Amino acid sequence: MNFPIRIILSLAAIFSALTPAIASEKKPNVLFIVCDDLNTHVSTSGYPHIHTPAFDELAAAGMTFRRAYCQYPVCGPSRASFLHGLYPQSSGVLDNKSDIRSVRPGTVSMPQRFKESGYWTGAVGKVFHNEKVDPGDVAWDEMLRFENDEMPLVTPIREKFEAEHGSIKAGKSRRKWREFYPSIATQTRGQQPGFGPSGLNDEQHKDGKNARQIGDWLASKPNGDKPFFMACGIQKPHVPFLAPDKYFAVYPKGKLQFTPASVELWKTVPKIAQTKRYEGFGFEFGVEDDELRREYMQAYHACISFIDAQIGVVLAALKQSSQWDNTIVVLTSDHGYMLGEKFMWGKVMLFETCDRVPLVIRVPRSIKNAATTPGSSSDGLVELVDLFPTLAELCGVTPPSELQGRSMTTMLRDPTFRGKDVAYTVVTRGKVLGKAVRTQRHRYTLWPSGEELYDLTADPQEQTNLAHSSEHARILAEMQTKLKNAEAKAVTKRRVGLNE
């Protein structure tokens, strides 16, 4: 078919006029950094006893959310929640063993949706809980996981073992080595938990490798002309609390500051609210072991300084790549962690220290009407489940219709915006569920065998349970209603074609 020359010229003129507009609408990149078991012992969360310059650097360029909360204080359920934009009761993932592909088939994850929308997607380290539940090629163009190099203290012991029993990589020798390994030193105890200087340098730790792999991608540009969605899973400070020796030197044990644990609270809260994880850390309930607590705190803080340095490596690489001005950066953790407060250790609890997480988001000026004001902060309530809809909106990606979180773009534009009415967090105890809501001032927790209520303005450490106080009956009733409303929104049944 022949077109008149004037029509051809007109079409060419229209296309030429549209080209700059199309080019100017290039989608922003996303750098998503998620730490593992990191509580709010970072400077951006107001913790005065540790310096985290990389967190500070990102906060100086973006917005710090001071009241951000996970939806489940355990790795697997939390990650399934925020990576799919669903509350745990809807995702169906309420433990570290469940795979959302089995309990909620067809659910689309955040990286999958970005990949489907034309993004190059890459992940290093622990983003999804483990490789068994990671969606692989469906979500990622490239996905890598590294391991620490062997610690120098282990090498001669391993060589002697192999001389007597054979290679530790096969057969009975492998099993014997796995049984023997935790007895070598505190550093080799793993989940029981291990701690101490590793004798390795930054680059020999998996998190050092993760950070440098992100740097390699930023330099080599495997995304080509596509925008990228890169996820950097930082494994520390998850147990074992291992870090290069130099980071331990920053925190002399004698100078660590903390309040001796009290067990008075346990006289007023349901027994089901407690955990016995302190036993795994080597403590006897109610007996303060000052030296051991300092050992763990020093190691945990050393891990935080170590990962902060690795995050600094990633941010430096992003700036050197010339992509800084077109990249959204998110820095957060999957949940908090208790270090002896209330004589409790670890996670799996519905207290502020377990449920609150650090969150810093930097949106560049290239994203009009949503760019973050450098150095801004918000005290509004947000939830990790809000990250998926937020990033989708900022990047012009169509989100799955089932998302339960709420975009934070209004808060990114206006730090004074109030945020959500409540943050909702749950945790299981066997086959039953504990549920909590956090408002600006109060936290209310409902267990099958009792309730908890705390005034976080008057009692930020949650030492006094007000659930049975007649003076707080009205507030208790209000919080009970808020919890019912929050749960109603958090529980949905999957409908056929929901993601179509």
Successive 10-residue mean pLDDT values, the chain, 500 residues: 43 37 68 98 95 97 98 98 98 97 97 98 98 97 98 98 95 95 97 96 98 98 97 98 98 93 90 92 92 97 98 98 97 97 94 98 92 96 98 97 97 93 97 97 97 97 96 98 98 54
Phi, psi for 30 (deg, rounded to 5): -130, 130
What's the CA gap between 425 and 124, in Å, rounded?
Answer: 27
What's the CA gap between 281 and 297, in Å, rounded?
Answer: 12
Inter-residue contact 423 to 438 (CB < 8 Å): yes
Q: How far is CA 122 from the centre of its chain?
A: 17
Q: Which residues contact 12 (CB under 8 A, 6 or more apart)?
A: none
What's the CA gap between 110 and 388, in Å, rounded?
Answer: 6
Decide: residue 255, CB within 10 A, 0-12 exposed, 13-18 middle, 19+ buried: exposed
DSSP string over 26-37? PPPEEEEEEEES
DSSP string over 328-358? EEEEEES---EESGGG-EESS--SHHHHEEE
Residues in the chain, how many? Answer: 500
Q: Where in the chain is the domain with CATH 3.40.720.10?
A: 26-148+198-422
Decide: residue 2, CB within 10 A, 0-12 exposed, 13-18 middle, 19+ buried: exposed
Give residue 462's region: left, alpha or beta (phi > 0; psi -120 to 50): left
Give residue 251's region: left, alpha or beta (phi > 0; psi -120 to 50): beta
pLDDT value at residue 368:
84
pLDDT value at residue 16:
36
Q: Find the helix or strand (DSSP H, E) in which 21 lies.
A: helix 5-24
Q: Which residues contact 260 (CB under 8 A, 6 or more apart)?
A: 288, 290
What's the CA gap between 35 and 404, in Å, rounded?
Answer: 23
Does the reported pTM lie above 0.85? yes
Inter-residue contact 332 to 234 (CB < 8 Å): no
Per-residue model confidence as pLDDT tens digits over 441-461: 999 999 999 999 999 999 999
- Name the CATH superfamily housing domain 26-148+198-422: Alkaline Phosphatase, subunit A (3.40.720.10)
Q: Which two tokens stand for residue 292?
A: 């051991």
Q: Which two tokens stand for residue 252?
A: 């002399």
Inter-residue contact 392 to 83 (CB < 8 Å): no
Task: Count Cβ neighbours within 10 Å for each residue of 43-70 and write b for 16 or more, e otherwise.
Answer: bbbebeebebebbbbbbebbbbbbbbbb
Give Rg (Cα) of the chain.
Answer: 24
pLDDT value at residue 325:
96
